[in-house]
Amino acid sequence: MHQDLHMTTTRPAHTPLASLPTRFLSPTDVAALVRTRGLPVCLNELAEAIGNDFLRWPDFDKTARVAAHSEVGVIELMPIADTSQYAFKYVNGHPYNAQHGLPTVMAFGVLADVATGAPLLVSELTLTTALRTAATSAMAARTLARPDSRTMALIGNGAQSEFQALAFQHLVGTTQVRLFDVDPAATAKLVRNLAGSGLVVTACASTAEAVQGADIVTTVTADKTNATILSADMLAPGMHINAVGGDCPGKTELAADVLRAARVFVEYEPQTRLEGDLQQMPADFPVTELWRVLAGQASGRTRPEDITVFDSVGFALEDYSALRYLHAQAAALGLGQPLALIPALANPRDLYSLTRPAAVPAPTRTAVPELV
Amino acid sequence: MHQDLHMTTTRPAHTPLASLPTRFLSPTDVAALVRTRGLPVCLNELAEAIGNDFLRWPDFDKTARVAAHSEVGVIELMPIADTSQYAFKYVNGHPYNAQHGLPTVMAFGVLADVATGAPLLVSELTLTTALRTAATSAMAARTLARPDSRTMALIGNGAQSEFQALAFQHLVGTTQVRLFDVDPAATAKLVRNLAGSGLVVTACASTAEAVQGADIVTTVTADKTNATILSADMLAPGMHINAVGGDCPGKTELAADVLRAARVFVEYEPQTRLEGDLQQMPADFPVTELWRVLAGQASGRTRPEDITVFDSVGFALEDYSALRYLHAQAAALGLGQPLALIPALANPRDLYSLTRPAAVPAPTRTAVPELV
């Protein structure tokens, strides 16, 4: 990795390397990784990476994400670090973006070296967010759902729904999915994309119909309102609810009575109190952080008839895990391109040298060596 | 700008554009901008842009930056938004980075559309941070320093020092600079870089010697300690102190008595209370936000003999202004390259289509149209 990718023409041959190259992964690169490894393998490896990092929970410098809200959406930054690496994600949530031909959720992120602050990786995270969210949901369900769970209701059939369906099929053992979305076109798209998956797929006319007979209910809707997608009368003993879409202030999916009837598990409690379906509940409403269940410090499901809720909002640690996974896989598979993000300077205190007319080449992108 | 840059081979010809391209500016691109416009013009235009945005202070959704501290440095995210655009900067501070051949401060940032969350610009901000910090310092000094100030002491002769010297020369009217750094090699580099600038340059043996006769004292040191670069016995009536280097918890440059002797001006008070030289003072120590002086809501210097301190830590609004300036200049000058950060999808709810084997081209970077 020690190549001077950025400004080769300005560096005398004898000067030591002045910068690590930053690797860039586009959506095309990440899609190539998924096709090369296979989606089930990627989801499984991501779930393993995320689970292993959840077991290191106390090692991380954690903070609730920083959100900028507007009338039509939200833009968030999600930083996290341990003693060796720092990661952050930029992610938006704009439920009406389809009107502009844009995804509701778009994201990218960076992995950096704590020892120097140098960015190691800049990656697309739009596709990756769908992958890591589904992997996290499945990882939680393996701990919280009844082991004999086979049927999942999937409410909200948008951009993330295929990944949820396939993660639960391959990581949890789901064999049937029952679909509902307020927009039948979204459900039709999901039905098409799941054809050939081996899942038994049923399109339903309502949430109430979809949840009938479901062992697991996944809600992954996008509307930025306090909606009641799932009400207490739809619950059945032993159900596991994977609540993904209620993930920012003013955006909920579950009726408060659903939470009251259940044992509730969260990622990072301070963030979920603000953003999750939990935002409806009093500050002392009991919840358990998922990492404590994984680490054996708290119990998950205790009886087959328990109703469990994973009130997922998405936590920075999942993106840290995903960025590290992408970084390692990209190196192994030779994916990505170098990105000239940080100047390479013969003397790092001579930043001014960049601006001297004689010292700098024309601003055309010169040929750069491939990252290895 | 409405071009499908990302995945041209997957989009049917009749499909409307599914993504705005993101423009990428490397250090080489920003250096080319500086050379094309000229450094004094760039500094002046940046100071004007920052000043105009400071006058719109109440329009912004402001927050103190989010810092991750380690033993050897800090990594920070600095977000800000108004109703139309969102910006953030990633920046580190690692005072021992020269040992690794890396700059102490490295940065990059993003400008995004609040209406959709789409990133419009990804830019290097290492060089740009030096430019915008110097422009902000000069803008503050035009308001706070005595109008007849001609001599500046410049303590700390590292990567940002040339930009401070030249900003004060061209924007404030400084004619002489008196230099000191604990490392004589840093001072020698600064002397070389200022040759031909028209400034009268004097290398001094100590801070006390450098500040003798100075109208303005700029401190821009990097050590991450509670240092006392400037003590009260070095002050003279009428001095303006531009304190740039004390910018994170545990990192100060001014003795508390310097602040007590002065009228103190800050960027964003909640952040400076944590990060500035102000961190040494009680919570009720009086300060004035600079924007209020610019807007005529508060007085700046009231008498020639006042001692004024600009306790600068660097605020996200300055990067917002700089990113917008870069974005406009890059468009005008045709600088930069498209960056495939966000997937372009024929159906934005069909993110899964990216991963289908038949639908996606090989992950080689295909030729992309130039941004115009």
The three-state DSSP-derived secondary structure of chain A is CCCCCCCHHHCCCCCCCCCCCEEEECHHHHHHHHHHHCHHHHHHHHHHHHHHHHHCHHHCECCCCEEEECCCCEEEEEEEECCCEEEEEEEEECCCHHHHCCCCCCEEEEEEECCCCCEEEEEECHHHHHHHHHHHHHHHHHHHCCCCCCEEEEECCCCCHHHHHHHHHHHHCCCEEEEECCCHHHHHHHHHHHCCCCCEEEECCCHHHHCCCCCEEEECCCCCCEEEEECHHHCCCCCEEEECCCCECCEEEECHHHHHCCEEEECCHHHHHHHCHHHHCCCCCCCEEHHHHHCCCCCCCCCCCCCEEEECCCCHHHHHHHHHHHHHHHHHHCCCEEECCCCCCCCCCCHHHHHCHHHCCCCCCCCCCCCC
Contact A119 B90 (CB under 8 A): yes
| Cβ-Cβ contacts under 8 Å for A369 (sequence gap 6 or more) | A3, A5, A338
- Is the domain of A117 the same as that of A182? no
pLDDT per residue as tens digits for the range A7-27 = 233 333 333 443 458 999 999
Residue B339's pLDDT is 95
> Is residue B139 assigned to a domain?
no
ipTM of the complex model: 0.89
Identify the residue among A39, A164, A354, A365 best suited for mutation to test binding to B, counting B beta carbons within 10 A and taking the highest. A354
Query: Residues B72, A118: contact at Cβ < 8 Å?
Result: no
Verify that A122 and A185 share a domain, yes or no: no
pLDDT in tens, B254-264: 999 999 999 99
- Average pLDDT for A191-195: 97
pLDDT band at A58 (very low <50, low <70, confident <90, very high): very high
B193 and B298, same domain (yes or no) = yes
Within 271-310 of B, beta carbons closer than 8 Å to A belong to none
If pLDDT is split at 50, 70 and 90, which confidence band does A142 have?
very high
Q: In this structure, what CATH number is given to the domain that contains residue B99?
A: 3.30.1780.10
Is B283's pLDDT higher than 90? yes
- CB of A46 less than 8 A from some CB of B: no
What are the chain A neighbours of B224 within 8 Å (beta carbons)? Answer: none
Q: Is the pLDDT of residue B201 over 60?
A: yes
To the nearest whole percent, how much of chain A has pLDDT over 90? 82
Contact: A117, B94; criterion CB under 8 Å: yes
Q: Does any CB of chain B come closer than 8 Å to the CB of residue A17?
A: yes
Q: Does B55 touch chain A if contact means CB atoms closer than 8 Å?
A: no
Number of domain units in chain A: 2
pTM of the model: 0.90
Candidate from A69, A77, A127 with C-beta closest to B88:
A77
Looking at the complex, report in whole angstroms how far the Cα of residue A358 sits from the nearest Cα belonging to chain B.
10
Q: pLDDT band for position B248 (50/70/90)?
A: confident
Same domain, B42 and B188: no
pLDDT number for residue B21: 80
pLDDT at A14: 35
Same domain, A150 and A84: no
Give the residue numbers of A annotated as catalytic, written as ranges: 247
Q: Are residues B333 and B306 in the same domain?
A: no
Whether A269 and A340 share a structural domain: no
Distance to chain A for B96, nearest Cα, Å:
8
Q: Given A73, A347, A361, which is nearest B189 (Cβ)? A: A347
Whether B79 and A83 lie within 8 Å, measured CB to CB: no
Name the residue facing A162 among B94, B104, B352 (closest C-beta): B352
Q: Which residues of B touch A158 (CB under 8 A)?
A: 349
**pLDDT tens-digit series, residues A85-118:** 999 999 999 989 988 889 999 999 999 999 999 9
Nearest alpha carbon to residue A201 among A151, A155, A244, A242: A151
B155 inside domain: yes
The reply to whether A370 falls in a domain is no
- Active-site residue list of B: 247
Which member of A93, A102, A354 has the closest CB to residue B118? A102
B340 contact residues in A (CB cutoff 8 A): 26-28, 124
Report if residue A59 sits inside a domain. yes
Quote the minimal CA–CA distance from B208 to chain A in Å. Answer: 23
Residues of chain B contacting A83 with CB distance shorter than 8 Å: 70
Whether residue B370 is contained in a domain is answered as: no
Q: Is the pLDDT of residue A369 over 80?
A: no
Nearest CA to A87 among A55, A128, A131? A128
Kindly list the distances between the CA atom of residue A30 and the CA atoms of A122, A170, B234, in Å, as whole numbers in the listed order.
12, 20, 58
CA–CA separation, A65 and A270 (whole Å): 10
Give residue B334's pLDDT. 94
Cβ separation A19–B101 shorter than 8 A: yes
Q: Is B140's pLDDT higher than 80?
A: yes
Report the residue of chain A nearest B350, measured CA to CA. A159
Q: Which of A100-104, A181-185, A305-309, B284-288 has the lowest mean pLDDT?
A: A100-104
**Is residue A298 a part of any domain in this protein?**
yes
User: What tokens appear for B139 in the block?
Assistant: 């803008």
pLDDT of residue B100: 87
Q: How far is B19 from chain A (nearest CA, A)?
A: 6
Q: Is B27 on the interface with A (CB under 8 A)?
A: yes
Contact (CB<8Å) A28/B115: no
pLDDT of B13 > 70? The answer is no
Q: What is the mean pLDDT of residues A48-63?
A: 97
B66 closest CB neighbour out of A35, A79, A97: A79
Pairwise pLDDT comparison (B45 vs B221), residue with the higher score: B45
Distance CA A337, CA A369 (A): 9
pLDDT band at A224 (very low <50, low <70, confident <90, very high): low
**Span A74-87, average pLDDT:** 97
Determine the average pLDDT of the residues in B213-237. Answer: 90
- Same domain? For A110 and A68 the reply is yes
Name every chain B residue with its beta carbon within 8 A of the beta carbon of A92: 112, 116-118
Measured between CB atoms, does A102 come within 8 Å of chain B?
A: yes
Domain that includes residue B64, residue range: 8-127+318-359
Task: Determine phi and psi for B69, rounding to 5 degrees.
Answer: -95, 145
Identify all chain B residues contacting A94, using CB atoms and an 8 Å cutoff: 115-117
User: Average pLDDT, stretch A334-349?
Assistant: 92
What pLDDT does B149 receive? 98
Q: What is the pLDDT averaged over residues A350-371?
A: 60
Taking only the tens place, the pLDDT of each residue in B25-78 is: 999 999 999 999 999 999 999 999 999 999 999 999 999 889 999 999 999 999
Q: Work out the average pLDDT over B267-280.
A: 94
Distances (CA, A) of B315 to A65, A340, B24, B70, B195: 19, 25, 23, 21, 31
A352 pLDDT higher than 90: yes
Among A residues 127-166, those touching chain B with beta carbons less than 8 Å apart? 127, 130, 158-160, 162-163
Q: What is the pLDDT of residues B331-365, one digit of tens each?
A: 999 999 999 999 988 898 999 999 987 544 444 44
Q: Among B66, B92, B345, whose Cβ lies nearest the Cβ of A117?
A: B92
* CB-based contact A124 B186, cutoff 8 Å: no
pLDDT computed for residue B367 by the predictor: 34
* pLDDT tier for residue B101 given thresholds of 50, 70 and 90: confident
Edge-first strand order for the sheet with B240-243 is B200-203, B176-180, B151-155, B216-219, B240-243, B308-311, B263-266, B288-289
Is residue A349 in a domain?
yes
**Domain annotation covers residue B132:** no
Judgement on whether residues A352 and A220 belong to the same structural domain of the protein: no
CATH assignment of the domain containing A284 = 3.40.50.720
Q: Does the CB of A43 have a partner CB in chain B at under 8 Å?
A: no
Decide if B119 and A127 are in contact by the 8 Å CB cutoff. Answer: no
Do A239 and A324 fall into the same domain?
Answer: no
Q: Which amino acid appears at position B64 of this protein?
A: A
Q: Which residue of A has its CA nearest to B188?
A: A350
3-state secondary structure chain B: CCCCCCCHHHCCCCCCCCCCCEEEECHHHHHHHHHHHCHHHHHHHHHHHHHHHHHCHHHCECCCCEEEECCCCEEEEEEEECCCEEEEEEEEECCCHHHHCCCCCCEEEEEEECCCCCEEEEEECHHHHHHHHHHHHHHHHHHHCCCCCCEEEEECCCCCHHHHHHHHHHHHCCCEEEEECCCHHHHHHHHHHHCCCCCEEEECCCHHHHCCCCCEEEECCCCCCEEEEECHHHCCCCCEEEECCCCECCEEEECHHHHHCCEEEECCHHHHHHHCHHHHCCCCCCCEEHHHHHCCCCCCCCCCCCCEEEECCCCHHHHHHHHHHHHHHHHHHCCCEEECCCCCCCCCCCHHHHHCHHHCCCCCCCCCCCCC
Selecting from B108, B159, B350 the residue whose C-beta is nearest the C-beta of A349 gives: B159
Q: Rounded mean pLDDT of chain A?
A: 90
Please indicate, yes or no, whether residues B182 and B266 belong to a single structural domain of this protein.
yes
On whether the CB atoms of residues A281 and A257 are closer than 8 A, the answer is: no
Task: Verify that B167 and B299 share a domain, yes or no.
Answer: yes
